A and B are shown apart, each in its own frame.
Chain A
Amino acid sequence: MIFLILIYAFIFLINVPGLIKRKEWRELTAFSILYVIAFTLGLMYVLDIPIPSPMKGLQHLIVDILGIEYPQG
Chain B
Amino acid sequence: MSIEKGTISSQQLLFLMAGFVQGSVLLIDFTVGITEHQTWMVILAGLAIAAPVVFSYVVLAKRFPGMNLVQINDMVYGRFLGKAISIYYIFFFMMTLSFNIRDVGELYITFLMPDTPFIFLLIVFTATCAYAVTKGIEVLARVSHLFVVTGMLVITSTFTLLTSQMDFSNFLPLFELPFIRMFQGIHIVSAIPFGETVAFLMIMGCLNKTEHAVKSTFFGLLIGAVSLLIVAVRNTAVLGRTQAIWTAPSFQTIRLIDIGTVLTRMDFLIGIAQTILIFLKCSILFYVLAVALSHLLGLKSYLPLVLPIAGIEVIIAATVFQSPVDHAMITQNAGIIYSAPLIFIFPPLSLLIANIRGLPKNGKG
Give the contacting residue for B316; candidates A8, A28, A54, A68; CB below 8 A: A54
Q: A38-B315, A51-B315, A59-B330 are in contact. Are A27 and B95 (CB under 8 A)?
A: no
Q: A30-B297, A42-B315, A45-B318 are in contact. Are A62 and B307 (CB under 8 A)?
A: no
Q: A34-B312, A55-B95 are in contact. Are A27 and B334 (CB under 8 A)?
A: no
Q: Which residues of B contact A71 (CB under 8 A)?
A: 180
Q: Which chain A residue shows the least CB distance to B319?
A: A51
Q: Which residues of A contact B184 (CB under 8 A)?
A: 70
**B165 contacts partner chain A, Cβ-Cβ < 8 Å:** no
A69 to B336, CA, bound (A): 10
Q: A27-B304, A42-B315, A45-B119 are in contact. Are A69 and B299 (CB under 8 A)?
A: no
CB pair A38–B312 under 8 Å, yes or no, is yes
The digit string for B301-330, where 1 denotes a CB below 8 A from any CB of A, is 100110111111011101111000000001
A56 to B333, CA, bound (A): 11
Q: Which residues of B contact A24 (CB under 8 A)?
A: 300-301, 304
Q: Which residues of B contact A5 (CB under 8 A)?
A: none
Q: Which residues of B contact A7 (CB under 8 A)?
A: 311
CB pair A27–B309 under 8 Å, yes or no, is no
**B66 contacts partner chain A, Cβ-Cβ < 8 Å:** no
CB pair A55–B307 under 8 Å, yes or no, is no
A44 to B314, CA, bound (A): 13
CB pair B308–A27 under 8 Å, yes or no, is no
CB pair A35–B318 under 8 Å, yes or no, is no
Q: Which residues of A contact B333 (CB under 8 A)?
A: 59, 62-63, 69-70
CB pair A62–B338 under 8 Å, yes or no, is yes
A42 to B335, CA, bound (A): 25
Give the contacting residue for A15; candidates B300, B304, B314, B318; CB below 8 A: B304
A39 to B101, CA, bound (A): 19
**In the assembled complex, how far is the CB of residue A56 from the closest CB belonging to chain B, in whole angstroms?**
8
Give the contacting residue for B330; candidates A37, A41, A55, A61; CB below 8 A: A55
A71 to B179, CA, bound (A): 11
Q: A26-B297, A30-B299, A45-B119 are in contact. Are A53 and B311 (CB under 8 A)?
A: no
Q: Which residues of A contact B180 (CB under 8 A)?
A: 70-71
Give the contacting residue for A58; candidates B119, B312, B332, B334; CB below 8 A: B334
CB pair A37–B308 under 8 Å, yes or no, is yes
Q: Which residues of A contact B338 (CB under 8 A)?
A: 58, 62
A20 to B307, CA, bound (A): 17
CB pair B311–A31 under 8 Å, yes or no, is no
CB pair A34–B309 under 8 Å, yes or no, is yes
**In the assembled complex, how far is the CB of residue A51 from the closest CB belonging to chain B, in whole angstroms?**
5
The digit string for B256-275, where 1 denotes a CB below 8 A from any CB of A, is 00000000000000000000
CB pair B337–A62 under 8 Å, yes or no, is yes
Q: Which residues of B contact A45 (CB under 8 A)?
A: 119, 315, 318-319
Q: Which chain A residue shows the least CB distance to B91?
A: A54
Q: Which residues of A contact B334 (CB under 8 A)?
A: 55, 58-59, 61-63
Q: A41-B312, A68-B337 are in contact. Are A19 and B304 (CB under 8 A)?
A: yes
Q: Which chain A residue shows the least CB distance to B297?
A: A30
**B298 contacts partner chain A, Cβ-Cβ < 8 Å:** yes
Q: Which residues of A contact B311 (CB under 8 A)?
A: 7-8, 11, 35, 38-39, 41-42
Q: A37-B312, A41-B312 are in contact. Are A11 and B330 (CB under 8 A)?
A: no
Q: Which residues of B contact A15 (CB under 8 A)?
A: 304, 307
CB pair A70–B332 under 8 Å, yes or no, is yes
A34 to B306, CA, bound (A): 10
The digit string for B162-189, where 1 denotes a CB below 8 A from any CB of A, is 0000000000000000001000100000
| 3 pairs of A and B residues whose beta carbons are closest in the complex | A38-B311, A34-B308, A41-B315
Q: What are 5 A-B pairs with beta-carbon distances under 8 A?
A: A51-B319, A55-B321, A56-B330, A69-B333, A70-B332
